[in-house]
Amino acid sequence: LKLGIMASGNGSNFEVVAQAIEERKLNAKIKVLIYNNPSAKAALRAKNRGVEAVLLNHRDYKKREDFDQKIVQTLRQYDVDLVIMAGWMRLVTQELIDAFPDKIINIHPSLLPSFKGVQAVEQALAAGVKITGCTVHLLRLEMDSGPILMQAAVPVFPEDTAETLHARIQIQEHRILPLAIAALGEGIAYTGATGNK
């Protein structure tokens, strides 16, 4: 299973995938990390693990389409067969989605379809939910939508801040992301979705 990972920031999810591979819990290889933010810690993590890291800065592209075309070209160049958005903070185009049909997954820090968008953890706190979590889903054009592959629930405690809650959610992200990748790779991922195909 040849993976391309896309990350904009810290890259802890990149790290756990790399670790699962190293520990032979996941039969895959990370062919490339694509990052769009020159200061993304994910890039350092890749270098430390000997994974090729390619900076594609969206600011260098006039149109989203041109940026995504470059992403597709890079993923093809590295002969990737599964794409993982692990904290990729850019909206995408249909061209990117169509280039890898049902082979692009995203991880999001809420129980979708609740709390879409960048403030998912803050939204969960503001709503006062007692349980939130994380979701791995297939990418679709509409942000944080698309068939759900795997979820994990996380309790919300009264004293939680966005930071403490996000940290608890990330523990579960780190558990289910490698599992979801493995399931997809083995062709046993199940969405069960009747609506959001």
72 binds ligand GRF (CB under 6 A): no
Separation between Cα atoms, residue 124 and residue 114, nearest integer Å: 8
**Environment class of residue 162 by beta-carbon count within 10 Å: exposed (0-12), middle (13-18) or buried (19+)?**
middle
| Contact criterion met (CB below 8 Å) for 185 and 82 | yes
In the complex, what is the shortest distance from the CB of residue 183 to ligand GRF, in angstroms, rounded to a whole number?
A: 18
| Residue whose beta carbon is closest to ligand GRF | 87
12 binds ligand GRF (CB under 6 A): yes
9 binds ligand GRF (CB under 6 A): yes
Radius of gyration of the chain (CA): 16
Q: Which is nearer to ligand GRF, 31 or 133 (CB)?
A: 133
- Binders of ligand GRF in range 128-167 (CB under 6 A): 134
Residue 127's identity, in one-letter code, is A
Q: Helix (H, G, I), strand (E, B), or coil: what is residue 93?
A: coil
**113-139 b/e (C-beta count within 10 Å ≥ 16 → b):** eebeeeebbebbbeeebeebbbbbbbb
11 binds ligand GRF (CB under 6 A): yes
In the complex, what is the shortest distance from the CB of residue 59 to ligand GRF, in angstroms, rounded to a whole number?
A: 20
The length of the chain in residues reads: 197
Q: Which stretch binds ligand GRF (CB under 6 A): 27-35, 50-58, 70-78, 106-114?
A: 106-114
Whether 58 is catalytic is no
* Interface with ligand GRF (CB under 6 A): 7, 9-13, 86-87, 107-109, 134, 170, 173
Q: Which residues are catalytic?
A: 108
